Amino acid sequence: MGDVSTAERERVPKQDRSRATRQRLLEAAVACLAEHGWAGSTVSVVAERAGVSRGAAQHHFPTREDLFTAAVEYVAEERSTALRALFPQGAAQDRRAVVEALVALYTGPLFRAALHLWVAASNEEQLRPQVTELEARVGRESHRIAVDLLGADESEPGVRETVQGLLDMARGLGLANLLTDDGPRRERVVAQWAALLDDALGARH
Amino acid sequence: MGDVSTAERERVPKQDRSRATRQRLLEAAVACLAEHGWAGSTVSVVAERAGVSRGAAQHHFPTREDLFTAAVEYVAEERSTALRALFPQGAAQDRRAVVEALVALYTGPLFRAALHLWVAASNEEQLRPQVTELEARVGRESHRIAVDLLGADESEPGVRETVQGLLDMARGLGLANLLTDDGPRRERVVAQWAALLDDALGARH
């Protein structure tokens, strides 16, 4: 590293602290949204949950909309990274394991938080543009990961739509899990459609 | 009919009026929920929209929870009836037309209203039991209709789960349509999944 000035040495930990605060706020925001919905999720509630002052929270996120779209984006990125890490070789031999891992992305607290955000955005003009843009970005990234891990060849007719339909099914399974624990039924549906998809997608690429 | 008393003659139109009022309230409740979400949907707002006094609304539906679960149930039943009427012969030759009609159930204002109700119920203990029970009932009915219209033989292994996965996909497509008009993409996904389904289900029953 060589010589660094005292100012620089002090700056780095401060940046780290700031980043840690930001991350605590984002994680608290997602947990809050998943548990209490949009109406119960204010910047004050999130700041308190994160153990951060309201002023510090507003320094990072000037508006409630900024905080919650950033929160859902942050966790979506974490999940994408975790999903890729599950299959470090890329296209997996076992497509059923890939389908299970993709569906799992839509059944946890992140999906629940995202669902609250989508539904709130559908009625709140202030929230709608950011959430629509975020949703499109997360959707494209999920599609790219699914194609890679399934070893699907999108130059073949119908393959793109087959994978899109799988992600739509995963989203629908997430919604079915909102009010009741739908785990046992979901497992059977996933096993069946993983087999149908394996046939439809043909040889791995 | 024979002779009826004056009281009886007067009673019938009154019942009709009462039924018409109930129906206006239910339709206004669904429209309100789809447009304004749960937070913006009170008995007063619905009564005003339906052109009914608040007292009359409360006579039909003592609580807000009663009104909205009844509303979603009423429209779900109307939709099931309409769906069956589209294919009066039962199992259709053209499975793609059936898949399109099933998916259409999940992309209109009823689905949007139901979605607001589900998400609200996930955070509100007063609403949750009714909505969970309603959702299970509507889900079973949709499954039964889908099996009939697709001419699927559920005694074959995997067929039940194939149809369930289709309905999960339809639900996911409905959710994808919440913030943006997803029609053109949906049409391609539906065409592809209808073909996969047709292969998977085999001969019609």
pLDDT in tens, A51-88: 999 999 999 999 999 999 999 899 888 888 888 888 98
pLDDT grade for A123, boundaries at 50, 70 and 90: confident
Does the residue A1 lie in any domain?
no
> How many C-alpha atoms does B133 have within 13 Å on its Cβ side?
8
Does the residue A42 lie in any domain?
yes
Does the residue B1 lie in any domain?
no
- What letter does residue B126 receive in the DSSP assignment? T
Q: Whole-number mean pLDDT of chain A?
A: 90
For A163-188, the pLDDT digits (tens) are 999 999 999 999 999 999 999 999 99
What mean pLDDT is predicted for residues A10-27? 86
pLDDT at B8: 61
CATH of the domain at B170: 1.10.357.10
Tell me the ipTM for this assembly. 0.88
Instruction: Please state whether B2 falls in left (phi above 0), alpha (psi between -120 and 50) or beta.
Output: left
pLDDT at A1: 46
Q: Whole-number mean pLDDT of chain B?
A: 90
- Give the minimum alpha-carbon distance from B180 to chain A in angstroms, rounded to a whole number: 7
Helix H segments across A51-158?
54-60, 64-86, 95-104, 109-123, 128-150
- The structural domain count of chain A equals 1
CB contact under 8 A, B192 and A161: yes
User: Which of B120, B180, B188 faces A161 most closely, judged by CB atoms?
Assistant: B188
CB contact under 8 A, B189 and A168: yes
Residue A24 is part of which domain span?
6-201
What mean pLDDT is predicted for residues B45-65? 95
Does the residue B177 lie in any domain?
yes
Residue A111 tokens read as 């999906």
pLDDT at B187: 97
pLDDT at A103: 95
What mean pLDDT is predicted for residues B174-183? 92
Residue of A36, A99, A116, A119 to mutate for B, most B C-beta atoms under 10 A: A119
What mean pLDDT is predicted for residues B150-164? 96
Which range (A109-113, A189-193, B8-12, B99-103) has the least confidence?
B8-12
Does the residue B124 lie in any domain?
yes
Does the residue A20 lie in any domain?
yes
Decide if pLDDT at B12 tops 80. Answer: no
Residues 6+ apart with CB under 8 A from A181: none
A108 — contact with chain B (CB < 8 Å)? no
Does the residue A72 lie in any domain?
yes
Does the residue A99 lie in any domain?
yes
Helix H segments across chain B?
6-36, 43-50, 54-60, 64-86, 95-104, 109-123, 128-150, 159-176, 183-201
What mean pLDDT is predicted for residues A92-115? 90
Instruction: Provide the percentage of residues in chain B whose pLDDT is more than 70.
Output: 94
The Cα A7–Cα B96 span in angstroms is 68
Q: Which of residues 132-171 of A touch B (CB under 8 A)?
A: 132, 135-136, 139, 158, 161-162, 164-165, 167-171
CB atoms within 10 A of CB A161: 21
